[in-house]
């Protein structure tokens, strides 16, 4: 029970500092005491006075619920262009000019919800708080929305075509392949570090 009490204190202290600690990560760390910790958290949240959410949080939640990217909303509200964020990343980390397309692609993936903002490096998170004028908690809290994946089915007709028609299609010239996108370990470590 001592471990559960320690985890609860750690979680509650983070809340008191204005952070948004992920309760599931604390519950996972509790192991066999997970149910006890969840109960303690629930009671604490029910008894805690509810503060009015700040306007930024309300707008970000609305954007997220509407399927929009909250980080794009943050950036747009501040009048910051995506290229300005990329320029700031390039300058802050003294990255070589040829890495700009990689930085731009990673930042686009972050804004689009394809990367988890909680996994960006602490140094990048600090830069984004300055450039976007938002708290680190606001930036890191907006996890990507779950992807809505519908089942895909192949048309039955394609499987029933005559064998010689399949052979003809196999001999048809293939479409030109897309160039392989560059990647960079230094840039990847900024955007996918896990801190």
Give tens-digit pLDDT for 130-152.
998 877 777 776 655 555 555 55
pLDDT band at 166 (very low <50, low <70, confident <90, very high): very low
Q: Higher pLDDT residue, 44 or 76?
A: 44
Residue of 127, 103, 125, 126 lying closest to 116 (CA atoms): 125
How much is the average pLDDT of 74-90?
91
Give the integer Cα–Cα distance in Å for 77 and 4. Answer: 41
* Residue whose entry in the numeric block shows the structure tokens 């009490």: 5
Look at residue 173 and tell me whether its pLDDT is greater than 90.
no
pLDDT band at 115 (very low <50, low <70, confident <90, very high): confident
Give the integer Cα–Cα distance in Å for 92 and 50. Answer: 38
Q: What is the dihedral of CA 181, 182, 187, 188, to 10 degrees?
A: 60
Residue of 37, 35, 47, 32 lying closest to 11 (CA atoms): 37
Mean pLDDT of the chain: 79
pLDDT at 180: 52
């Amino acid at each position: 029970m001592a471990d559960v009490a320690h985890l609860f204190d750690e979680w509650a202290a983070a809340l008191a500092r204005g952070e948004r600690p992920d309760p599931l990560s604390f519950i996972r760390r509790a192991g066999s005491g997970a149910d006890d910790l969840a109960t303690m958290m629930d009671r604490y949240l029910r008894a805690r006075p509810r503060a009015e959410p700040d306007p930024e949080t309300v707008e970000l939640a609305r954007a997220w619920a509407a399927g929009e990217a909250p980080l794009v909303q943050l950036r747009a509200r501040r009048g910051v262009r995506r290229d300005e964020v990329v320029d700031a990343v390039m300058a802050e980390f003294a990255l070589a000019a040829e890495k700009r397309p990689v930085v731009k692609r990673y930042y686009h993936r972050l804004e689009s919800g394809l990367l988890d903002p909680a996994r960006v490096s602490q140094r990048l998170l600090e830069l984004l708080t300055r450039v976007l004028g938002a708290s680190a908690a606001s930036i890191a809290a907006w996890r990507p929305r779950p992807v809505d994946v519908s089942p895909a089915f192949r048309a039955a007709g394609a499987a029933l075509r005559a064998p010689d028609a399949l052979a003809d299609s196999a001999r048809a010239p293939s479409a030109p392949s897309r160039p392989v996108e560059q990647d960079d370990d230094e840039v990847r470590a900024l955007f996918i570090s896990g801190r």
